[in-house]
Amino acid sequence: MAEYEAIIGMEVHAQIITRSKMFCGCSADYAGAPPNTHVCPVCLGMPGVLPVINRKAVEQTVRTGLALNCEIASTAVFARKNYHYPDLPKGYQISQYELPLCRNGWLEIELPDGQKRRIRIRRAHLEEDTGKLTHVGEHSLIDFNRAGVPLLEIVTEPDIRSAEEAYAYVTRLRQILRYLGVSTGDMEKGAMRCEVNVSVRPVGSTELGTKVEIKNLNSFRSVRLSLEYEIRRQIAALERGEAVKQVTMGWDEERGRTVLQRSKESAEDYRYFPEPDLPPLELSEEWVDELRRALPELPAARRDRFMSLYGLARKEADLLTEERAVADFFEAAVQEYAGEPRAIANWIMGELFRLLNTAGLEITEMKVTPSGLAELQTLVDRSTINLNTAKQVLDIMFRTGRSPATIVESEGLAQVSDQGELAAIVARVIEEHPEEVARYRGGKTNVLGWLMGQVMRATRGKANPRIARRLLQEALDRE
Ligand SMILES: [Zn+2]
């Protein structure tokens, strides 16, 4: 069998977080609202109304373009994309065609084996979302709350070579959109949607194969699985001597296969023309520079800095920078803490992630503060509490938001480091367990661990383990 390679291009649509819609004053925050309550004559496409451009949406698109290393247009033009569909009341969508806001950029992806590749970005432009259709039996219901919400479209060159690379691309892109605060990137809620086009060709060939589009991919998983499936399907067809047809497919999650949606005899003709109701957008160089200077540190750069500055391993730095809010929390706690940053990292990656997971909360929603966490580890460093007690204290901090010092004080959790007090407990444990003590003295030194457990139990876990172990050892060896 010949060797084949896949040629993949990707289109991502992401809803931009703004207060109002793209061309009218309706609130864009329509989640959970009853159908058709976030609407006005503009987004309902009534005759005679005029659109007004949402400045914030333009700004967010330009910021995204800058983060994706794009050229930013000095003049961008909105265009009408004409087609008829029930979710599009005007009969056209206002989009951008020949003069998009951003073009010719790139995004660097990293594969699990550490290999890096650049995926070129052809363009990123601004448009409006459509309404939402729900099909119920023989009827279709239409909700226009989503109509006119600002939508960012990001299109790659066909530089992606495998399902794994597509997955790496879309996860990195979403992470950047979230870092920028441009989009929630929530695929389950439809705030981010993917389309791919894929063809295969024998390795070494310079001709492009016939490409197939797969639409409406609404999870990272479906991006990867649909591409894996489709690449296999196309190779099998070529091996049988069949031609791949130019079609649009969907992804059937349940059956794990791509399914035909429609054949594509010719390219759609949307009869684009410049939107006559909107002037061309002129972007000043100063404004774009201002936005560039104000960009946050992006995930890859922050990950590298965490490794060099805090001495973290790549995996740890990846985990801590996956979400901007987690990275911010870590750095704020490190600022308040005098010891090794790794101690703070361990708390976040271990106990805090566990507590957040169980409670189903985001790090920004919890009651533990960066300074609270720093204080907790400081209490451990000073031997005021031991590590096990610290976990209990964090639990209480998480539930109540109280400071660790007050919790230790009010719950009487301070570690017992007092030699006299501990020696008395050790003596009692030895007296109560003559058999185990005899076995230890007979050479079974591993009984020490068990006896140590008794000491911890007698102090309800508060014994300073270092001191307690030394006292126990001394008492046993004394005979
Ligand atoms: Zn409106």
Contact 272, 81 (CB under 8 A): yes
Element containing residue 476 per DSSP (H, E) = helix 465-478
Listed in order, strand segments (DSSP E) in 16-115 are: 71-72, 75-76, 78-82, 92-96, 102-110
Judged against a pLDDT cut of 70, whether residue 372 lies above it is answered with yes
The pLDDT tens digits for 121-165 are 999 999 999 999 999 999 999 999 999 999 999 999 999 999 999
What span, in angstroms and rounded, lies between the C-alpha atoms of 67 and 62? 9
- d(CA 148, ligand 1 centre) in Å: 7
- d(CA 291, ligand 1 centre) in Å: 28
- d(CA 153, ligand 1 centre) in Å: 21
- d(CA 147, ligand 1 centre) in Å: 8
Judged against a pLDDT cut of 80, whether residue 71 lies above it is answered with yes
Contact 92, 81 (CB under 8 A): yes
What span, in angstroms and rounded, lies between the C-alpha atoms of 385 and 233? 61
- d(CA 318, ligand 1 centre) in Å: 41
Q: Which residues contact 228 (CB under 8 A, 6 or more apart)?
A: 163
- The token pair at 388 is 């096990």
Q: Which is more confidently placed, 478 or 111?
A: 111
- d(CA 6, ligand 1 centre) in Å: 42
- d(CA 450, ligand 1 centre) in Å: 71
pLDDT at 1: 60
Element containing residue 151 per DSSP (H, E) = strand 150-156
Residue 430: which of 465, 409, 455, 466 has the closest Cα? 455
Judged against a pLDDT cut of 90, whether residue 422 lies above it is answered with no
Partners of residue 248 on adjacent β-strands? 213, 262
Q: What is the pTM of this model?
A: 0.86
- The token pair at 470 is 């030394």
- d(CA 32, ligand 1 centre) in Å: 17
Let me know how many helices (H) and strands (E) the chain has, helices first: 16, 16
- d(CA 38, ligand 1 centre) in Å: 7
- d(CA 77, ligand 1 centre) in Å: 21
Strand 4-15 with 150-156, pairing = antiparallel
**SS3 label, residue 417:** coil
pLDDT at 67: 98
Q: How many alpha carbons fall within 13 Å on the CB side of residue 126?
A: 31
3-state helix, strand, coil in the chain (%, to 5): 40, 20, 35
- d(CA 217, ligand 1 centre) in Å: 28
pLDDT at 169: 97
For the packed helices 404-411 and 370-381, what is the interaxial angle rounded to 10 degrees?
A: 50
- The token pair at 242 is 């069949």
The pLDDT tens digits for 11-59 are 999 999 999 999 999 999 999 999 999 999 999 999 999 999 999 999 9
- d(CA 131, ligand 1 centre) in Å: 12
Report the alpha-carbon angle 232-169-61, nearest 5: 135
Contact 127, 101 (CB under 8 A): no
Q: Give the torsion through C-alpha atoms of 351, 184, 221, 170, to 10 deg.
A: -110
Q: Which residues of 435-466 are buried (b: 16+ CB within 10 A; e: fewer)?
A: ebbeebeeeeeebeeebbebbbebbebbbbbe
Residue 340: which of 310, 370, 368 has the closest Cα? 310
The pLDDT tens digits for 436-476 are 899 988 888 888 889 999 988 888 888 888 888 899 988 88
- The token pair at 354 is 């566990």
- d(CA 40, ligand 1 centre) in Å: 4
- d(CA 50, ligand 1 centre) in Å: 11
Q: Which domains, from first to last, does the chain contain?
A: 4-288 (no CATH), 297-411 (no CATH), 419-478 (1.10.10.410)
What is 258-310 written as a DSSP string? EEEEEE-SS------EE-TTSPPEE--HHHHHHHHHTPPPPHHHHHHHHHHHH
Encoded amino acid at 78, one letter: F
The pLDDT tens digits for 311-360 are 999 999 999 999 999 999 999 999 999 999 999 999 999 999 999 999 99
What span, in angstroms and rounded, lies between the C-alpha atoms of 210 and 192? 27
- d(CA 85, ligand 1 centre) in Å: 19
| Residue 352 DSSP label | I
Strand 247-252 with 212-217, pairing = parallel
Q: Which residues contact 401 (CB under 8 A, 6 or more apart)?
A: 367, 368, 369
Judged against a pLDDT cut of 80, whether residue 267 lies above it is answered with no
Nearest 5°: phi and psi at 391?
-65, -40
- The token pair at 54 is 């949402």
- d(CA 14, ligand 1 centre) in Å: 19
- d(CA 39, ligand 1 centre) in Å: 4
- Cα(first)–Cα(last) distance of the chain, in Å? 78
- The token pair at 263 is 């054949």
- d(CA 41, ligand 1 centre) in Å: 6
- Give Rg (Cα) of the chain: 30
- d(CA 188, ligand 1 centre) in Å: 25
Question: How many Cβ atoms are within 10 Å of 127's Cβ, its own excluded?
Answer: 22
Mean pLDDT of the chain: 93
- d(CA 35, ligand 1 centre) in Å: 13
* Residues composing the chain: 479
